[in-house]
A and B are shown apart, each in its own frame.
Chain A
Amino acid sequence: MRDTDEIGELLRPLARIAPDEPGGRAGGARARALFADIIAQERDTATTVPLPRRPHGGRPGRGRRALLGLTASAVLALGVVLGPSLAGGTATSYANSAVEIHEEAHTYVARIKDPYADQREFSEAFRALGLNVELKVIPVSPSAVGEIVSMGGSFNATSPKVPYGVRKEPAGCDLSDSACFMVVTVPAALKDTPDVMHFELGRPAQPGESYENDWQSVTRPGEPLAGVRVSGRTVTDVLAEVGKRGLAAEFRLVVVHEGGYTVEPLAADEVGGDWIVFKATPARAGVVTLEVTAERQTGLQYAD
């Protein structure tokens, strides 16, 4: 039998990333961005924490969106920098087909011209002004439209009390109207610092488009099941509430594991009426997702 050293000699060359070779750079921009994203997430010290999730499988509309983004970046790859000099870091405004950004009273004000644009176009615009801002505009359920769905950042150089926000222009307009824009404000103090801000903004979903705020609850105000208690009730009970409101339901199986839970696809005919609903989330217009288990799970924190 070969000894440990021989086996080591044989196996080391098989490693895709050689032993002693670092897999990444903890100080690199990518590592910093991930760090900022993670610490922006809510922490929960309970035994089981619901992790933010993304739907499994294909997302309707995604392919189309990617295609639009590609066309936009191919045709309109050139942004317009205004200001004395980009190299000198003194540029004060920037515009491309997706966004227009200008400086205004210690803040940068970004007007989202095309909420369907590729995320990279937003980043490119902010970066051109020396701002590490990652902005993503995602289709969301009604209560989250025009809202910051998630926000985070790492503020070492700037104060944690930086002014930021989102508003509609003109004020109070309806975002499904093409003359209504979302406007994001970030602090000018971010400029030329390593600090990162990250936003996800909600836009109205297109017909049939899946919501991406699918970790939020549909029992929140403004949602179709506002105020209805679902967590801990049986599937039969919750389906009655769903039906009363003219909604349809899809199901996901909750799988509890160390550190949280994940959800897996689940066909409606596999679900028993006596199964227990953990949470109801928005799927798309007129459809909610019931996250269920066959039995009540001790590892889950029901809201009942």
Chain B
Amino acid sequence: MSDDTHRFEAVYRATYDQITAYAGRRCDSPQDAADVVAETFVIVWRKIDELPPGAEARLWVYGVARNVLADHRRGALRRQARHRDLDAEMADLYGDPADHSVERSAIAQAFRTLSDDDRELLALVAWEGLDREEIATMLGLSRNAVRIRLHRARRRFSRALDEADVRRALTGTVAPVGRTL
């Protein structure tokens, strides 16, 4: 295999799980998520020369996935007819319906009222476990800009939660059931 193939294989192995989860958390259907994963790695392969070294590689791939997802939401992404298998893998992940406690759906509701940008920032912290510096690298922003945007997103989310009256959530009644944190 060529060097490029080796590099791609390394980054693919290192990030496949994370990108699959990233797409799965943000797409409404397993087919859409599978498309986003496939398209993301096609672009990573095509642009393997631009792959930054070391730890930044993962953040760069997240950045590609984010752009692909944005395109997908604009309806411009083609169906990847060839990846039925991936669809099936995604369908497995979607097979486990989330717990629909009243509090949790209220939180989900409040979360949905936020802008895409706010939701993405909060989710990158809570779901992907990225810190501010990593988010700054991924989004190509300064750390300060991320700090400010995160602060505002948290404030807007808090307000939305208050409006939805989810104070009880903090007492622990919303502690996740059946999932490990």
Contacts and interface: CB of A to CB of B under 8 A. Distances in A.
Interface string A25-36: 111111101110
Interface in B123-165: 123, 125-129, 150, 154-155, 157-158, 161
Interface of B: 4-5, 8-9, 12-14, 16-25, 37-39, 41-43, 45-49, 64, 67, 71, 75-86, 88-90, 93-94, 98-99, 104, 107-108, 111, 122-123, 125-129, 150, 154-155, 157-158, 161, 166, 169-170, 174-177, 179-181
Q: Which 5 A-B pairs have the closest CB atoms?
A: A23-B20, A23-B21, A22-B17, A24-B20, A11-B126
B157 A2 contact: yes
A14 B20 contact: no
Interface in A35-91: 35, 37-39, 41, 43-45, 49, 51, 53-56
Interface stretch (A227-235, A256-264, A269-277): A256-264
A7 interface: yes
B157 A13 contact: no
Contacts of A27: 13
Nearest to A2: B158
Nearest to A18: B179
Interface string A1-29: 11110111111111111111111111111
A2 B174 CA distance: 15
Nearest to B77: A262
B127 A15 contact: yes
B23 A37 contact: no
A20 B181 CA distance: 7
B174 A13 contact: yes
Given A26-B13, A259-B43, A54 B79 contact: yes
B173 to A, nearest CB: 11
A255 interface: yes
A11 B22 contact: no
B93 A23 contact: yes
B57 to A, nearest CB: 14
A56 B78 CA distance: 6
Contacts of B23: 23
A260 B46 contact: yes
Contacts of A38: 8, 12, 38, 41-42, 45
B48 A43 contact: yes
Interface residues of A, number: 56
Contacts of A56: 78
A15 B124 CA distance: 11
A23 B19 contact: yes
Nearest to A57: B79
A136 interface: yes
A35 B127 CA distance: 25
Contact of B64 (A29, A35, A259, A262): A259
Contact of A26 (B16, B154, B181): B16
Nearest to A54: B78
Given A27-B13, A38-B42, A259-B47, A17 B25 contact: yes
Nearest to B81: A54
Contacts of B49: 45
Nearest to A258: B67
A7 B126 contact: yes
Contacts of B19: 23
A24 B46 contact: no
16 contacts: A12-B176, A15-B126, A16-B24, A16-B25, A19-B129, A23-B20, A30-B88, A41-B42, A43-B48, A49-B46, A54-B78, A136-B82, A212-B81, A262-B71, A262-B78, A264-B76
Contacts of B81: 54, 212
Contacts of B180: 18, 20-21
